[in-house]
Chain A
């Protein structure tokens, strides 16, 4: 790319080609599996087949040539530091120690490394763990009954109770009792596999006492923090580098710390580089998935159809370890009352321990699980009142100046009217109710809408606590390096940073180099999660670039150097002066007050807003639901790169449509029974309807060029729109997803076909 002329148009708001695009589509990009260190060995993991028990020891088959192959065998006894994957709480071990508790099927018990992958697999098969089996928990109800105790006395990892407009339950119930109508429902949403195209993959090597780990990940500093504890070393003794990463969706937020620990331990014992790339079945079986959830919801309205009270009680299955569950639950409860005006709300959330493999981060992070219930409830209100679903939502929507369930007064950048209007304007007439397919199947069609919001960035005071930093430096060749730990996991972060930096510096995008993140060379910008990379870190990069530009221009004036910023940069480097670099730390916008004790106040600096319309067609012979149309209108503040933003919205939408109709993790006695791409169904392009995307831009004054989060929000709403549409088509309620054909078939007695 040739540098553009000074004063050329800004790149923000244009679809600059992906900086990493050519390398990826030509196969030049090197993923972890493509990387090799000299003499690298391959690791494999000995896993539990038992959901709950005590590890008594291992039997090693002497039929495998342990000595001749040099195969190393690593157990918890080989861990130099603390045996834990440090994240929120110190409860998850890296390897179950002998005498310790096995908490789930496919939990890591021991590790092997051998010169070839085939040998490593053979060695793994030659290890038989001895486990004393204990009774296990597979349902949320069994967890709450707490006859078997997995965590504390009550198996509850975390609970929240958020009250608004009342102080006590009796007061709340009195308000509900006074309502004209109370709509009650129970809603169930299932686990979901991220199904990133690149499986979990990591390689480690020790050189001169220092551990170097490279791999597929979202959050290098999360891995860094976990490795310091596990390896018992200081911050400079371990270096974490991200390799080109083929998707994350939250699935590479916590688990990479586990895999990094495993390769680090193996490399330490083998005294050589060791890599592990999971097979797909192993990845599906052992790594985190979206939390299954069950939500009871009461919606109390007065005779005029105004909401007088909202009552939510959500339970999530956290699986065998706490991991990120408290934070997922937090985001779930903070969105649970929905983007609707209501003076009195009560939101309760609990996340419980079971013997499923730990559930964890997945795009939307708890909000999709609580959005589905409230949008089914609002739909039922529309049916009850005979009111147009979009008009009803427009009538009740939160707007600027209204207060949320945490009593946050909404300030700038509230796009509720804009997204609802966008959907209304393109809705057109609903599909014809009844029809016959070419093959003779009778058909019923229906339409569903939904309206939703998603907080961008970390919750409450989270961003202030994270204090994300980024650095911009002037480097040789008249170029500028952006150093941030935010990772490009396919979502376009590198390109987005390039555009923001290019505009802030007023240089051609080709002069901006976004360095590959590693914990030695880039500051901690916070994790690549929570729809925060553009809004928060992008904003930091923007400020940092402006400071560098100011300093460079000042230096030019001082030294009588003229020309554009690239020329100044060149002259600066050639002058031999010390590196000109600036580090900027995130500063929360003014007036953000959050009370962690009562869970009230400004839950998020800003919300994205979304509305969705879905038309479906149900085949009454096969009970399959076909998506005819899906329109999403999303308020993103500002689309830094419209094609990338559109891609984010389309991808998140398809993931949500799959979650609604197809994706079903089959757990049998705690084991994922469908751990293959053949049977763990995610949608293909053939399953996708034409996805219509409307980008709404209601600028956020504290985001770069007005941008706010976009990564997660598209995931939140479509599932409810699908369920609303299927309910409309068949005249009966669908309150559980996935709405598999088997579920539709089982509902035939409830159909009220028009």
Chain B
């Protein structure tokens, strides 16, 4: 009566891609921090493709032109402790350090977060604000998808059935770019976000010339707030904060759920986005 579950732990990426191509319905396991929680409630999968510590996809390396490439298998602990991430792409480092707690950070991976694509995935607004690209691979070859085009709906992504996530590419940020990140959760650890936000704001000659504002947990997927990004262009800090606050009104439609209320999420998102600009140092 108990259904059997097949299990494979490939030795390298080539083998993993072959299994993925042959068994596209199998569950892909990275750190397992999401899957283990839901294991008792969900239908047992036909098979599990275990990518934990798969060689070649866990490293954090410097990319072309001053960018950074974070392997899909890198854990939050590794990302949170990486000096390069902390220095130049701080929203991702800050997100990594607030995910779950130490045990979760030691198992959970960037690739898992990107693949699960939960609306409350903590790293996802950071990837949006940092203009990341997701590199995927299959037996057919490799391709890159801008993260802005990655999420296609509630927990759905641009990943094809035979593809695996290999890495996230973080481009270098222009001089004068200010970064910010905030998570507001249900408590201070082991917490699911109620609202989170990440911002990359470029300031030249005292005015905002470019901004990427991303929010999580306020829609069915992480989203950029175009209205704010346009409203702040050409404004100095204080004016940008006010314009951002005004542009936030009606910009998002968060939901009520067991963790928080729509009105709270809306209000806090507005406060945080305004604070990103007024708090720029």
Contacts and interface: CB of A to CB of B under 8 A. Distances in A.
B279 interface: yes
A741 interface: yes
Contacts of A741: 184, 194, 260, 264, 268
Nearest to B279: A440
Interface stretch (B108-116, B124-132, B211-219, B270-278): B270-278
Interface stretch (A15-23, A156-164, A381-389, A679-687): A679-687
Nearest to B272: A621
Contacts of A674: 258-259
B189 A745 contact: no
Contacts of A746: 263
A145 interface: no
A65 B1 CA distance: 8
Interface stretch (A115-123, A131-139, A268-276, A530-538): A115-123
Contact of B2 (A118, A624, A684, A745): A118
Given A119-B1, A686-B101, A742-B260, A678 B192 contact: yes
Interface in B251-265: 258-261, 263-264
B189 A686 contact: yes
Contact of B258 (A673, A685, A745): A673
A279 interface: yes
A687 B1 contact: no
Interface string B191-215: 1101000000000000000000000
B25 interface: no
A745 B272 CA distance: 14
B61 interface: no
Nearest to A674: B258
Given A439-B182, A622-B184, A622-B268, A685 B189 contact: yes
Interface in A627-685: 662, 666, 673-674, 677-679, 681, 683-685
Contacts, number: 74
A623 interface: yes
Interface in A406-445: 439-441
A621 B191 CA distance: 19
A69 interface: yes
B188 A684 contact: yes
Interface in B72-127: 101
Which of the four size classes fits the interface of chain B? 20 to 34
Classify the interface of chain B: helix, strand, loop or mixed.
loop
Interface in A262-313: 279
Given A623-B268, A686-B187, A679 B279 contact: no
A666 B258 contact: yes
Nearest to A741: B264
Contacts of B184: 622, 624, 741
Nearest to B37: A678
B148 to A, nearest CB: 25
B186 interface: yes
A439 B184 CA distance: 13
Given A678-B37, A681-B187, A122 B258 contact: no
Nearest to A64: B1
Contact of A742 (B180, B261, B271): B261
Contacts of B279: 439-440
Nearest to A438: B279
A43 B261 CA distance: 38
Contacts of B37: 678
Contact of B192 (A441, A679, A742, A745): A679
Given A683-B187, A745-B267, A440 B101 contact: no
Contacts of B264: 623, 741-742, 745
B190 interface: yes
A279 B40 contact: yes
Nearest to B190: A684
B188 A687 contact: yes
Contacts of B189: 684-687
Contacts of B101: 684, 686
Nearest to A688: B188
A685 B102 CA distance: 12
A685 B187 CA distance: 10
Interface string A204-217: 00000000000000
Nearest to B268: A622
Contacts of A116: 2
Contact of A439 (B1, B192, B275): B275
Interface string B162-179: 000000000000000000
A622 B271 CA distance: 8
Given A439-B182, A678-B37, A685-B189, A69 B1 contact: yes
Contacts of A678: 37, 190, 192
Nearest to B275: A440
Q: Which residue of B263, B268, B278 has the most chain A CB atoms within 10 A of its CB atom? A: B268
Interface in B1-30: 1-2
B182 A684 contact: no
A440 B1 CA distance: 58
Nearest to B184: A622
B1 to A, nearest CB: 6
Nearest to A679: B258
Contacts of B263: 742, 745-746
A441 B271 CA distance: 9
B162 to A, nearest CB: 31
A309 B220 CA distance: 55
A116 B1 CA distance: 10
Nearest to B194: A741
Interface of A: 65, 69, 116, 118-119, 122, 279, 439-441, 621-624, 662, 666, 673-674, 677-679, 681, 683-687, 741-742, 745-746
9 contacts: A116-B2, A119-B2, A122-B1, A662-B186, A679-B186, A684-B189, A685-B189, A686-B189, A741-B260
Given A440-B275, A681-B186, 9 more contacts: A119-B2, A621-B275, A623-B264, A623-B268, A662-B186, A679-B259, A684-B189, A687-B188, A741-B264
